[in-house]
Amino acid sequence: MDGMKQVLFLCSGNYYRSRFAEHLFNRLAAASDLPWRAESRGLLVGKNDNVGPISRHAVEGLKLRGIPLSGSRYPLQLSLPELAGSDLVIALKEAEHRAVLAELFPLWANLAEYWQIDDLDCAGPEQALSVLDGHVRALVQRLAAGFP
């Protein structure tokens, strides 16, 4: 869309955290008439045991927040065009994602913003998605105030 800016959420598999963040952000941004849209991609798509298009934890977390999924797609691997077309890139866990981003796209590793959202190996979905929800809501407020 014309005049829309893009935030790109990154996680490992583009299956759970980044997909939840994408859908939540888009719902909140639309409700706030914020001229931003979210997309999400994975740094290591296909290198895990993910089954299906999106994590059931992400679907359940969105459903609890009254956010239905419109359409379904399978996880997508990050490529340079998505990075170049984004106004803000957020990797969801620095300890997991900085080194991989640096390996795949060295010029982008220091341009991304890093959050600290645990994956299922470190936190249950209720805890992780609650923290991620807070970060996404704070991001929407920050962008609405004009601070990318």
pLDDT digits (tens, 9 = 90+) for 91-127: 999 999 999 999 999 999 999 999 999 998 899 899 9
pLDDT at 2 over 70: no
Q: Which residue has the higher pLDDT, 42 or 147?
A: 42
pLDDT at 68 over 90: no
pLDDT at 39 over 90: yes
Mean model confidence pLDDT for the chain: 94
Phi and psi, residue 81, nearest 5°: -60, -35
Residues 16 and 20: their CA atoms lie apart, in Å, by 6
Residues 34 and 17: their CA atoms lie apart, in Å, by 22
pLDDT tier at 52 (50, 70, 90 boundaries)? confident
Q: Give residue 72's pLDDT.
A: 78
Q: Give residue 3's pLDDT.
A: 85
**Domain spans in the chain, listed from the N-terminal domain onward:** 5-144
Residues 130 and 117: their CA atoms lie apart, in Å, by 10
pLDDT tier at 148 (50, 70, 90 boundaries)? confident
pLDDT at 1 over 70: no
pTM of the entire predicted model: 0.95
* Superfamily of 5-144 according to CATH: Response regulator (3.40.50.2300)
Virtual torsion, Cα 87, 23, 54, 77, nearest 10 deg: -10
